[in-house]
Structure 1
């Protein structure tokens, strides 16, 4: 009887080690999440006083590629004049927890793919109903929910990893800030 249990235990351990070896390695562009209010999910649980009992308004889930000494915008990584997935891997998803407006255009609460057409002096920001797409390879303009132009600015020093963060604007305004290399973009949203 003891031998049977020992044998079953060894088989179980051997099976677990085989399964553990099937995981793929760490992604070069790790996934991240940005909320408004900033760090909402964490603070809701551990520091509710930091979010002043505000509900979540918007969240972006995206991958953060690294610059790694490369030129970024206007190259094959993020070519000017072509639809780009705003990060790496899957197209980022932006979730609006409540209706909002961007440049006076109404956005219904829901989840959208976040894409852009970068250019040197401005980006065309696109929200698409086509979520769960890899990159922007299957981009279909007919599924655009929003298209706006926002100016670019220069960062004082290069930003190594593509980053998105939300900040409080004036009144009911929330600012979505994106930056990579020496390019910055700010998108005001009203809730």
Structure 2
């Protein structure tokens, strides 16, 4: 029963990433668009935990690599992993894992405390981790200098902080509505 529940949750969050991909992207001269899909990375880590969050992102990226146009703007195929945004995409599984690890380690005895933990976990996993990989991708794929890549990725930070807040609100709502939910996947073994 637990394995079928795990499979369902992983598939559900991979599908959620696809739904977030339906929201139009905002193209930037940097070659990396602003999308809502990093919110899915944050939610997967917070709600599923490290292992299932990682699995959901890997499943989603596998579907993208096979050519399904699931990325914002209808992008898909192996070529997206050779574009300037590849570092960000490859960071999604790691970001979900880091977010889930932090979420499972941070306190959360009340809905408000759980939401605060979700904001912090999302900021470190869904924002910092993803941006570190993104900068490395920009340097290696787009051939930007480290300084250009660092300052270029700062454009995304205000929006990503808003996504951290939205993730915290969703987690707060889930914590209030489903008090037995085990954030960070603590009991979803």
TM-score bracket relative to the smaller structure: under 0.3
**Normalised by the size of structure 2, how large is the TM-score?**
0.27
- Give TM-score, length-normalised by structure 1: 0.27
Relative to its length, the structure with more helix (as a share) is 2
